[in-house]
Amino acid sequence: MVLLLTLTGLIFLVITLVIYCIAPGRISPEAKKMANIFHGINCAHRGLYSKDQKIPENSIPAFAAARSENYGVELDIQLSRDDRIVVFHDDTLTRACNNSAFLNSMDYEELSKLQLFDTDYFIPLFTDVLDILDDTPVIVELKAAGTNNIKLCEETLKLMREKGKNWCIESFDPYIVAWFRKNAPDVLRGQLSCLPREYGKISKLTAFVLGNLFMNFLSRPHFIAYSTSPRPLPVQLCRAMKPINVLWTVTPEQDISKFENENDVIIFEHYTPAPKYK
C-alpha cells in the first residue's frame, strides 16, 4: 500500500511538473487584439517566393507579391556586424549567396552587394521590407545569434514600435521569446518548435527539451508555431490548454484543408491558397 501511494504521488508530481513546464502564457488585451488580426489567415513563408528562387525568399519582390495577393507574411531577421537588422534566414551566406561567410561577420554595406540566388535582388534591410508591407500581418522570426540576442531583441522592438502595424514575434530560442515576455508583455509572442529529430546541429537532449516545449515555463508563449509533423504528447497537452496554434510550413503536396480546423494561422509556400480560411 505504501509503495502504491508513493508511486501514485510520484506520477502526480511528474504530471504536475510537465504541465507547469509546457503551459502557454496568458494573453494580454493588447496581444489579444493582434491575435484577432492574424486569426484564420494564410501567411507566405519568407514571402511569396518561387520554388526555383527566381523570385528569391526573403526578398523585396517576394514580400511585394505576398502583399498584392493579400497574404500575411512570415520572415526571418538577424543582425549584421554593424547591428543593422536584415531579412535573411541562414546563419551563413553559402546557400543563398555562394559565400561561405557568416552573415553576422559582415557590415550591411558588404551584405547589400551580395546577390540572392544569382538573381538581381539583394539582402534587404528590415526597414525597407516594412515599407513594402505597410499594414500586412507580419510574423517576425528572430534568429538566435548568441551574445547578440539581446541587441537583436532591443533593436527589433524599437523598430516595430516605430514602424510596425500588424505584427508578432516568434523564435526557436525560448530565451528570445522570454525577453519579450519580460520587456514587452503586450507584444504577441510565439514559440517555434518541431520534432526533436528535425532540429539541426544541437544535442539530442536540447532537441528533446525544445521539441516537447519544456521551456515554455520560461517564455510562456501566446502561440505555438509547430511543424506539420506528428506532435509529441507534451505538445498535444499544450494545445489542449488552448494557446493560439500556428502551423508551418504547408506545401502543395499537402492538403491544406485538413489543417484548417485545428490551426489559427497557417504558414505556406510554393502555391497560392485563399488569403483567409476562417
pLDDT tens-place string over residues 29-87: 999 999 999 999 999 999 999 999 999 999 999 999 999 999 999 999 999 999 999 99
List phi, psi (to 5°) of 114: -90, 125
* Of the candidates 220, 277, 203, 205, the residue with the CA atom closest to the CA atom of residue 38: 277
Q: What pTM value is reported for the model?
A: 0.95
**pLDDT digit string, tens, across residues 151-166:** 999 999 999 999 999 9
Matching CATH number, 29-268, of 1.20.120.720, 3.40.366.10, 3.20.20.190, 3.40.1280.10:
3.20.20.190
**Helices 126-133 and 149-163, packing angle to 10 deg:** 30
**Helices 174-183 and 149-163, packing angle to 10 deg:** 50
The pLDDT score that the predictor gives to residue 9 is 62
Distance CA 274, CA 42 (A): 7
Arithmetic mean of pLDDT, 97-113:
96
Q: Is the peptide bond before 147 cis (omega within 30 degrees of 0)?
A: no
For residue 156 the three cell numbers come to 527589433
